[in-house]
A and B are shown apart, each in its own frame.
Chain A
């Protein structure tokens, strides 16, 4: 696509056309060829350093003791669970509004990874809650809203597979993803809006972190590592989906007897 075709008569870029530039499966395969190994390498390096630092060298908390080391897993999982769902909703908008060819495939592949990440957030939270609160689970606003997020992920996966026509499944799942985004501010502000057992955020955009650098640095490394890992998993799954789709097209073409006319 030339530069001129990306612009309106007024000279402004058209978002839909700009996005379609990156919607070409061939272009995505070329991009993933170098992006996937890079993301895997980044994830491995950051996680190796961050997790070992957090597990062995970072100090124990004065109040929580060693159980604070679960934070290096729980916090990245919690952030990725919400970010993954936001990505799912963006894919829903791209699919419904601009009919982006890769958006539906991306949503299909983000869903299971997001569900696993949310499940890990809930499991590590329970394992942190038991020694601190004396209970594996409490019907606290933060915990309940994250459980709702997990069910939204499961609903999204189920909806995609619930229709014989995949396009109808994609549309229904996109609507659910967009509607479910209401849960994200509830998760974020639940500790402020309600009296919860869950502690408030230690890292915010508006205030300085309430933890020392000896904990903040390994936590940041783990966050980058897990984010790169999440991106690598989604990119790899999307790449596999594109390859499977090409194979399916070839099979269909052959079954219709068009193989020798191509």
Chain B
């Protein structure tokens, strides 16, 4: 019979779970932000080049 209340595993699992979730959320947010910034800058630069007069 497993006595979960007498073990520390729920606390350990909660610690690892919280940390992995928080780090993953930060990494995901960063990936999306970087992708958005790259796409936006590329679009603006493309339009900017298009607006320059040709010599």
Contact = CB atoms under 8 A, between A and B. Distances in A.
Interface of A: 51, 55, 65-67, 69-70, 73-74, 77, 113, 116, 119-120, 123-124, 127-128, 130-131, 229, 233, 236-237, 239-240, 243-244, 246-247, 250-251, 254, 259-260, 262
Interface of B: 7-9, 11-12, 14-16, 18-19, 22-23, 26-27, 30, 33-34, 37-38, 40-41, 44-45, 47-48, 51-53
B51 A259 contact: yes
Contact of A66 (B9, B22, B48, B51): B9
Nearest to A130: B11
Nearest to A74: B15
B34 A70 contact: no
A243 B22 contact: no
A254 B33 CA distance: 23
A247 B44 contact: yes
6 contacts: A66-B9, A128-B11, A130-B11, A240-B34, A260-B51, A260-B53
Contacts of A127: 11-12, 14-15, 18
A74 B53 CA distance: 59
Given A67-B8, A240-B37, A124 B18 contact: yes
Contact of B48 (A116, A124, A243, A259): A259
A55 B13 CA distance: 10
A70 to B, nearest CB: 5
What are the nearest 9 A-B pairs in CB distance? A67-B8, A243-B37, A250-B44, A247-B41, A236-B30, A127-B11, A240-B33, A259-B51, A124-B15
B22 A51 contact: no
B18 A123 contact: yes
Given A66-B7, A120-B19, A254-B48, A233 B30 contact: yes
A251 B30 CA distance: 23
Contact of A55 (B8, B16, B22, B52): B16
Nearest to A236: B30
